[in-house]
Structure 1
Amino acid sequence: MTSPLNPLLSTSGPLVSRHDVLLVDLDGVVYVGANPVRHAVEVLGQARSGGSRVGYVTNNARRTPEEVAAHLREFGLEVVDDDVVTSAQAGARLVASLVPVGSAVLAIGGPGVSAALIERGLRPVMTDSEAPQAVMQGYGPDVSWHDLAEGTYAVARGVPFIATNLDLSVPTPRGIAPGNGALVAVIVAVTGVTPLVAGKPESPLMLESIERLAAASPLVIGDRLDTDIEAGSRLGLPSLLVLTGVTGVADLVAAPAHQRPTYVSEDLRGLLEEQPLVEVLPGGAVQCRQARVRVGERGLDVEQGGTDPIDLLRAVAVACWTRADRGEEIDAHRVATDFAAVHAPLAR
């Protein structure tokens, strides 16, 4: 159920019961660094036991699906290799649509890049002197100046250029580091050629996942508005935003229409719960169960805080989106500050 101005949907039972396949992002959803996200293992195990297939969909092309699956099993998850779909696999499908089977393809990035090309009957090479007929670039921490130079030589010759993803940064134990998008930008800057992109928010990775996982009614699950949620939006797929990764209150309330999730939950436990109705009331207030708010020029006015901070956040988000859709300004940081005064732990 939803009102014309309200993009958040409600369910009459557990959210997971509405979907045959869960398309789950990894970093910030299943794990953060070397540690599983709280509740993730238990919830995904219950979803799988209840009949849902859990697919793990990642923009990171560094590792092969086998390596990713082995890592997830270390957390106690029941995962087979085919449950994992990477942007390298989606990128390799793009390459295979552009060059003949058996073609040499310059592979830049980690082992997952070459493995995906081989799976598609293509031959990964390391230098332009081997006459590659395409270039595929994915993330790898050991990518060097020489690798980028070889890619530049090949792209400058006019061969197809495919990037697995354009994430500008990657999290590391020491902080944020350059991601594949930053390295792709080097070749783009030198050659002036814009690559075809496979990863989220572009559609190839999601389409690859839907096909490989035989999804009829998938749910996209992620922690990033500009990749996971937008990827679902582009294909008209419902999405669940979890707040265990990078998205905070200010990000959510300022989200443009194409980056707004269908559902919001603190973590993956939202899959096992009924999603509540969020109503835009006559007069402009927005209510979600016991939480009722207004958003105006002076920021957030909490008329009723309710008992669940996520209900309050749902109401605040819809109030902000409704105001923005009318062309009225939103001070997202002020709203987040006002929210923090009520529920500080969520106001990141």
Structure 2
Amino acid sequence: MTARIIDAHDVAFFDLDGVIYLGPIAVPGAVEGIRDVTASGARVMFVTNNAARSAAVVAEHLNSLGFVAGPDDLITSAQVAAGVLAETLTAGSLILVAGTQNLVDLLAEVGFRTTDSADDNPDAVVQGYSPNIPWALLDEAGIAVQRGATWYATNDDATRPTDRGLVAGLGAQLAVVGMTVRPRKPIVFGKPHAPMLDFAVSHTGAERPIFVGDRIDTDIMGANRAGMKSLLVFTGAHGKHDLLAAGPGDRPNYIGADLRALLEPARVATQEGHSWRCGAARAQLHDGRIQLDADLATQAGQLDALWALANLSWATDADPADSLAQLDQLH
């Protein structure tokens, strides 16, 4: 029997938004997939850049959708921020928090004082995603940074996938503050920045981890920077166009329709002259144009074709647009 992707790994890290759930609903197949990954013997750990909710609340959400999870199965960017700052700032430092009560509570737990006013002369500003952030609080954060407070952010995701479509993420809220403090930028803890996945590996003792995510710019880049394998799934923010646009250091090791691809053999693309083959699919150059020879009637066939096309596109200057348009079962 051909080895499955998961068989080579002791810990599987999963992003949440777009991989496990889309707002109030589970991604189709995710509950069964996580159950089967656990049954394989690999440890499952959920890793999210979303700092809005506590690990306990997120675990309750997961359980309500049919997953089995507790707070110890979760790592949030807010937890990482609080842990790193506890080792970086002086105990008792005053922090202006532009985020939810979860972030306020975590920072208080590690010994910091918090405020929502720049006039209190905070030592630092920490921003975390909040779906109901008051505009006035963003003003206070910008004023505090202008006055010399060190600027931190739990993450810098531009968008978040939901069951209704993409919505603005913390990156948009950072941009509001950033307009007032140019050219300064915040120190960021979440993916793809090192603190998040360094914490995840240390927390789990992972020796052969893999990261499963739906975003090139956070999940896949973060995994690559941490030296771990990655699987890009097409259930959330990024799709086929993002994959082909990824630079040499930003590409996944594997692709799959959803996280259940971990339980299947890896797609492998091999070069054959001026063409690349994956399974029965072949992408080849003919008179400077890319041609696809594949079974495009199934999603699996289109994924094989995409992986062959991606490898050919990365190796040449040929325009893949016409070929991508044929992969109509992939977003």
TM-score (norm 2): 0.91
Higher relative contact order (CA 8 A, sep 6+): 1
Mapped pair 1:301 → 2:291: yes
Query: In the alignment, does 2:120 pair up with 1:136?
Result: no
Instruction: Tell me, in whole angstroms, the C-alpha distance in 2 between the residues paired with 1:86 and 1:130.
Output: 28
Deviation at 1:203, TM superposition (A): 1.6
From 180, 187, 192, the counterpart of 1:196: 187
Residue in structure 2 matched with residue 3 of structure 1 by the alignment: none
Amino acid at match of 1:165: N
1:208 to 191, 196, 199: 199
- Structure 2, unaligned runs of 5 or more: none
Equivalent of residue 317 in structure 1, options 279, 290, 310: 310
Write the distance in 2 (CA, Å) between the matches of 1:245 and 1:86. Answer: 19
SS in 2 for 1:13: coil
Give the equivalent residue in structure 1 for 2:214.
223
- 1:117 maps onto 2:110 in alignment: no
**1:5 alignment partner in structure 2:** none
Note if 1:237 corresponds to 2:228: yes
User: What CA deviation, in whole Å up to 9, does each residue of 1:30-66 have, x standing for no partner?
Assistant: 1112111111111111111222111111111111111
SS in 2 for 1:107: strand
Amino acid at match of 1:247: H
Cross-structure match for 1:74: 64
Tell whether 2:81 aligns with 1:91: yes
- One-letter amino acid matched to 2:268: L
| Aligned-partner SS, 2:199 | helix
Q: What is the letter of the counterpart of residue 152 of structure 2?
A: I
Which residue number in structure 1 is paired with residue 321 of structure 2?
Answer: 333
What amino acid maps onto 1:345 in structure 2? Q
Cα 1:213–1:267 change in 2 (3 A) is same
Distance 1:296 1:317, change over 3 A: farther
> What is the rounded CA distance, in whole Å, between the counterparts of 1:297 and 1:260 in structure 2?
27
Cα distance in 2 between the residues matched to 1:158 and 1:297: 59
Residue identity opposite 1:202 in structure 2: H
State the SS of the aligned residue for 2:152.
strand
Contact in 1 for aligned 2:92/2:112 (Cα 8 Å): yes
Q: Secondary structure at the match of 1:96?
A: helix
Q: Which of residues 226, 248, 262 is equivalent to 1:271?
A: 262
SS at structure 2 position matched to 1:345: coil
**Cα gap change, 1:129/1:53 in structure 2, threshold over 3 Å: closer, same or farther?**
same
Q: Give the CA deviation at 1:128.
A: 2.7
**Corresponding residue for residue 164 of structure 1:** 154
- Confirm whether residue 126 of structure 1 aligns to residue 116 of structure 2: yes
| Distance in 2, Cα, partners of 1:60 & 1:296 | 45
Amino acid at match of 1:237: M
Change (3 A) 1:128 1:53: same
Q: What is the CA–CA distance in structure 2 between the aligned matches of 1:66 and 1:235, rounded to whole Å? A: 27
Distance 2:164 2:34 in 1: 29
Q: Distance in 1 between matches of 2:26 and 2:256?
A: 17
Larger mean CA deviation between 302-311 and 71-80 belongs to 302-311
Spell out, residue by residue over 1:89-129, the C-alpha distance to the aligned partner (whole angstroms, 9 max, x if none). 22223322331123221111112311331343323322233
- The number of equivalent residue pairs is 327
Residues 299 and 334, structure 1, Cα contact 8 Å, conserved in 2: no
Q: Give CA-to-partner distance per residue, 1:246-283, whole Å, 9 cap, x none.
A: 222222222211221001111111111111432111x2
- Per-residue deviation, residues 59-90 of structure 1 (Å, max 9, x unmatched): 11111111111101111111110111111122
Give me the CA root mean square deviation: 2.1
CA contact (8 A) 1:43 1:268 kept: yes
SS at match of 1:183: helix
For the residue of structure 2 that corresponds to 1:301, the secondary structure is strand
- The runs of 4+ residues in structure 1 deviating greater than 6 Å are none
Counterpart for residue 6 of structure 1: none
| Contact in 1 for aligned 2:22/2:162 (Cα 8 Å) | no
* AA of the residue aligned to 2:62: L
What's the offset of the Cα at 1:297?
6.3
